[in-house]
Each structure stands twice: as C-alpha cells, then as structure tokens.
Structure 1
C-alpha cells in the first residue's frame, strides 16, 4: 500500500494576520508519476463529471488535458 508523504520542499506559510483567523493551509502530497502511470503513457483522471488525460510525452514531460 502506498502512503503519500508531504513534499519535503513545501515552504512554510506565514501565520494569519489576526488571532481569530483560521489558517486554511493544506500540505501538498507528492506522488511519483511512475506510480500513477504504472508503465503506461497516459492516465485518465475523473474529477466530478469531467475526465482529464495525463500524458507522458516522448520528451519526458507530463501534459494534463481536459
């Protein structure tokens, strides 16, 4: 089972300006693309009613399209 770890290089955020403000800071999760793609060149991602395509190009880039 894979458990994502918070990104080690996430910068710290400043404290809220007012003492009664709540901070809405959420740590980003880092996932290696090879774990997502599992040897494939593209992955379909369902987000609500939309479907997105994550594609690994020949130039070793990732492209996300709707």
Structure 2
C-alpha cells in the first residue's frame, strides 16, 4: 500500500495582494501584514 502525499495549498501572492502592495492576513486573533517590496520580495510581519 502506498502512502498518500498531503496536498499543500498554493496561493499566488498577486492574488492575495489584489493589485496592492500590502495585504492583511488573519490567523485566529492574530493579524499579520504581507508586504511586497520594491525589489519584488515578500515580507510577513506581525
């Protein structure tokens, strides 16, 4: 019997940001900010 590989959800940053430079992500009571830098990198802060 073979083991099933779990499927990890994948999201495009462009979809999360929806044309903006920042997006808010909530996890329970915590709020995080996803930011796109000028050099095209992502920063996630609490």
Same fold (TM over 0.5): yes
- The counterpart of 2:14, out of the listed 30, 34, 53, is 34
Residues paired across the two proteins, number: 44
Unaligned runs of 5+ in 1: 1-14, 16-22
Q: Give the TM-score, by structure 2 length.
A: 0.81
Measured in 1, the distance between the counterparts of 2:32 and 2:15 equals 18
Q: Give the TM-score, by structure 1 length.
A: 0.59
Which residue number corresponds to residue 55 of structure 1? 35
Report SS of the residue matched to 1:53.
Answer: strand
Measured in 2, the distance between the counterparts of 1:64 and 1:26 equals 25
Structure whose residues are more often strand by fraction: 2
Measured in 2, the distance between the counterparts of 1:44 and 1:65 equals 10
